[in-house]
Amino acid sequence: MSRYLLFNKPFQVLTQFTDDRGRSTLADYIRVPDIYGAGRLDYDSEGLLLLTDNGALIHRMMHPLFKITKTYLAQVEGQVTPAHLEQLSQGVILNDGPCAPCRAEAIEPPLWLWPRTPPIRSRRLIPTSWISLTLTEGRNRQVRRMTAAVGLPTLRLIRSELANLSVSGLIPGEFEELTEESLLDNGINCNTKKGAPKVPRSAQGASTKRSGRPPQRNRPPQPQNQRGGKTRPGNR
């Protein structure tokens, strides 16, 4: 039976279990064998990462044609304007091609958001502001490149939602184990067969044939103090 872990990745943690340079990895927080991240989350980004041993789900989460939504909160340098939001929502052009349209909103930082350690750099004369971006793509460092393309460098980046799953309530370094039923209830189907989704006949032309809430919460293993089935993350 497959396992599904929803993890709140802290800042400067690699989304892998080993590193030959001595950086912090998932192994510092999770001791479940043979699971892998369903998608990427950069070393210097924070927030939701789904880990599983279900290869079909990993494929589904990473394939853009399945359109699994991912919402990011970005603290940017500069003041967000309606023109910035219009550019982002229409899809900016990056060096590896145009981005798909997305939802872009100016927001206030949520009350549940934890402080980052270390904090972001601040400049006395340059304001910062927050944007919420909801994408169905997952290119390398895409959100950072998108905000930079419109003149708003990202200072801090948190993945706050995967489909309908939210990071709210998970502290950094904490994970919760999910069932297939709870994932399905939150918009993620674990039973999709591996392979790209079929393209509708209407999208191909007339002469073209068709082509082929969580039950338990756990905290990371260090230190070994446990309370109510949870293991508190170690001081890092």
State pLDDT tens for residues 6-48: 999 999 999 999 999 999 999 999 999 999 999 889 999 999 9
Distances (CA, A) of 163 to 10, 85, 185, 188, 226: 20, 22, 10, 7, 30
pLDDT above 70 (res 226):
no
pLDDT above 70 (res 114):
yes
For residue 190, what pLDDT is reported? 86
- Least confident segment among 11-20, 49-58, 188-197: 188-197
pLDDT in tens, 89-109: 999 999 999 999 999 999 999
Q: Average pLDDT in the 48-60 region?
A: 94
Count up the domains in the chain and report the number.
2
Last residue in a domain, options 162, 187, 208: 162
CATH number at residue 146: 3.30.70.1560
Active site (annotated) includes residue 42:
yes
CATH number at residue 234: 3.30.70.580
For residue 221, what pLDDT is reported? 56
Could you tell me which residue, 151 or 211, shows the higher pLDDT?
151
Could you tell me which residue, 225 or 169, shows the higher pLDDT?
169
Structure-token pair, residue 54: 């279900």
Last residue in a domain, options 117, 147, 162: 162
For residue 152, what pLDDT is reported? 97
Residues 53 and 74 in one domain: no
The catalytic residue among 42, 44, 96, 185 is: 42
The answer to whether the predicted template modeling score (pTM) of the entire model surpasses 0.85 is: no
Residues 73 and 61 in one domain: no
For residue 222, what pLDDT is reported? 54
CB neighbours of 156 closer than 8 A, spacing ≥ 6?
46, 74, 75, 116, 120
Q: Find the domain containing 86 and state its range.
A: 69-162
Last residue in a domain, options 118, 135, 162: 162
Could you tell me which residue, 231 or 83, shows the higher pLDDT?
83
DSSP classification of residue 174: -
Q: Please give the full DSSP string across 16-76, using - where no structure is assigned.
A: SS--TT----GGGT---TT-EESS---TT-EEEEEEES-HHHHHHHH-GGG---EEEEEEE
